[in-house]
């Protein structure tokens, strides 16, 4: 049912986005991967996916902080792969500071990449999904889309915004065979998170296991990270026919964080 369908995954040259692209490719979906960069390694990631999973895969450079680039990503991916019926809005950045010291340009960048890009790509992709008669929009929000932490005002505002946008779009498309859901991960083990462990061990004078348990995963009751493969498989599930009646839902994948 999913084989041969075409997906765009924004911000997918590393971490969760790459995990999603790989798990979708594994189910036979052709994938458009994206970043704001344009290096040989970026294009190689797409070649590797084609080689490993036998699907069409292509890399598109587009800066998700820019409305025009969001639209052109949808246009270029459609031209290259065919009708885009799966859109995964994953690109996101973070910045941490007290609100009175929060640099306005960081606020603008986080709102643009983490929230406004979700609007721009969705707006551009929905007409194609309606014409195709089937669609899946999956927005990667966060546990911070449902709850807050201090010093993350822009991120928390943007991720809450993603959940609200998801619900509204789900209602608009409810009778069009197009679902729109948000995935709300807690802490996910990505190369970026892995690279922070040595610094945290040093800063807290703790061994790896203790720093993970007591500092990094202090709010995650399972005391374990989700993996990028797990997030990818959940996105693949939301694309499946089994999930046809799931729409407008923020799906928590946070080891119990928001149950606290």
Q: Is 4 exposed, middle or buried (0-12, 13-18, 19+ CB in 10 A)?
A: exposed
- Out of 59, 107, 155, 165, pick the active-site residue: 155
Rule CB under 6 A: which of 77-136 touch ligand NAD? 90-93, 113-114
CB of 237 to ligand NAD, least distance (A): 17
Exposure letters 79-96 (e unless 16+ CB within 10 A, then b): eebebbbbbbbbbbbebe
x/- map, 179-218, ligand NAD, by CB under 6 A: ------x-xx-x-xx-------------------------
Phi, then psi, of 259 in degrees rounded to 5 = -85, -15
Candidates 9-17, 77-85, 174-182, 201-209; binding stretch for ligand NAD (CB under 6 A): 9-17
Helices (H), 173-190: none
CB of 3 to ligand NAD, least distance (A): 26
142 binds ligand NAD (CB under 6 A): yes
20 binds ligand NAD (CB under 6 A): no
Exposure letters 99-128 (e unless 16+ CB within 10 A, then b): eeebeeebbeebbbbbbbbbbbbbebbbeb
Residues that bind ligand NAD (CB under 6 A): 11-17, 34-36, 63-65, 90-93, 113-114, 140, 142, 185, 187-188, 190, 192-193
Q: Which residues are catalytic?
A: 155
């Amino acid at each position: 049912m999913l084989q041969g369908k075409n997906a765009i995954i924004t911000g997918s040259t590393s971490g969760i986005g790459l995990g999603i692209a790989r798990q979708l490719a594994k189910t036979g979906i052709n994938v458009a991967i994206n970043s704001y960069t344009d290096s040989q390694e970026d294009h190689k990631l797409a070649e590797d996916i084609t080689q490993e999973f036998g699907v069409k895969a292509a890399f598109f450079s587009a800066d998700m902080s820019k409305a025009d680039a969001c639209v052109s990503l949808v246009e270029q991916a459609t031209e290259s792969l065919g009708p885009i019926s799966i859109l995964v809005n994953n690109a996101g950045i973070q910045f941490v500071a007290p609100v009175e010291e929060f640099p306005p340009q960081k606020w603008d960048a986080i709102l643009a990449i983490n929230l406004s890009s979700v609007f721009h790509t969705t707006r551009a992709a929905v007409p194609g999904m309606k014409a195709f008669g089937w669609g899946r929009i999956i927005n990667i929000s966060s546990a911070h889309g449902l709850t807050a932490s201090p010093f993350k005002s822009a991120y928390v505002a943007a991720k809450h915004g993603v959940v609200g946008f998801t619900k509204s779009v789900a209602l608009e498309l409810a009778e069009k065979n197009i679902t729109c859901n948000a995935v709300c991960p807690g802490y996910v083990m990505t190369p970026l998170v892995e690279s922070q462990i040595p610094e945290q061990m040093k800063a807290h004078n703790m061994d790896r296991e203790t720093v993970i348990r007591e500092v990094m995963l202090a709010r995650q009751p399972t005391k374990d990270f989700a993996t990028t493969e797990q997030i990818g498989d959940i996105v693949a599930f939301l694309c499946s026919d089994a999930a046809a009646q799931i729409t407008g839902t923020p799906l928590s994948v946070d080891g119990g964080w928001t149950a606290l």
